[in-house]
Structure 1
Amino acid sequence: MTPEEIKRKRADSILRELIPEALSQLGDERLRGLTVTEVICSKGRSDADVYLDPTGIDEAEQQQILKQLRKVSKGLEAYCLKAEGWFKSPKFHFKFDKELDRVKRMDELFAQIEKELNK
């Protein structure tokens, strides 16, 4: 692992902790209850994809939440900048993590196959 990759992984980890802290201080109840599953910074750490847990949130509400997150993203970036004392914070791009649904569906399929094999 190169030193640049180590710095990027460290930034990912720090942001995975700071973003939920920042969200918890917002007035919007929907945003305070969000769970950050993953943060992936770009190569230059100028952008960061923030993946959120979609469990229990329908598609229409997800779109409303993403719209609201775009509005408050500058405040979240400022919070992270101040908390870590960084010179520059990455620009956040919020997304709902579709991978969790795929993993859940695969687990269900494997359970079904195992049940059929045991018969």
Structure 2
Amino acid sequence: MTEAQIKLKRTESLLVELIPEALTQLNDARLHGLSVIDVKCSRGRSDAKVYIDPSSYSEEERRTYMKQLRKARPIIEDFCLKDQGWYRCPKLTFEFDEQIKKSQTIEELFKKIAKDEEEV
């Protein structure tokens, strides 16, 4: 692993810890319960995608949360800057992580295939 990759991973892990802490500092109590699954930074650490757990939210609630997160983005970035003493913070983009749902669907398909093979 190169030094640049190590710095990138370190930044990602710091953001995974800092963003939930920043969310709890906001006045909107609805954002306090959001859980950050993962953060992926771009190669130059200028942008970062923040993946949120979509577990029990309807489509309507997801849209509402995304609107609130877009409005709160500068405050969250400022919190990260001040907490870590960074010169600049990656520009955060929030997304609900759909990989969990996809992996569950794939697992169900594998179980169905295995069941069909047993019947034959």
Residues 66-98 of structure 1, C-alpha deviations (whole Å, 9 max, x = no match) = 111010111100111111111111110001111
Aligned to 1:69: 69
Distance, in Å, in 2 between the alignment partners of 1:112 and 1:105 is: 11
Separation of aligned partners in 1, 2:71 and 2:87: 22
- Which residue type is aligned with residue 69 of structure 1? L
Q: Which residue of 1 aligns with 2:35?
A: 35
Q: Secondary structure at the match of 2:49?
A: strand
Structure 2 length-normalised TM: 0.90
- After superposition, the Cα gap between the structure-2 partners of 1:29 and 1:115, relative to the gap in structure 1 and judged at 3 Å, is farther
Structure 2 segments unaligned to the other structure (5+ residues): none
Q: 1:9 is matched with which residue? A: 9
Give the drift of 1:104.
1.4
Q: Give the 3-state SS of the residue equivalent to 1:56 in structure 2.
A: coil
CA distance in 1, matches of 2:14, 2:2: 19
Structure 1 residues 29 and 112, CA gap change in structure 2 (3 angstroms): farther
Identical counterparts, % of pairs = 49
Tell me the TM-score normalized by structure 1.
Answer: 0.91
| Structure 2 match to 1:50 | 50
Counting matched residue pairs gives: 119
The aligned amino acid for 1:23 is L
* Deviation (angstroms), 1:61: 1.4
- Alignment correspondent of 2:92: 92
Cα deviation for residue 118 of structure 1 reads 4.9
- Matched letter for residue 102 of structure 1: K
Letter in structure 1 aligned against 2:104:
K
The one-letter amino acid of 1:49's match is K
- CA distance change for structure 1 residues 115 and 25 in 2, over 3 Å: closer, same or farther? farther
Unaligned runs of 5+ in 1: none
1:59 equivalent to 2:59? Answer yes
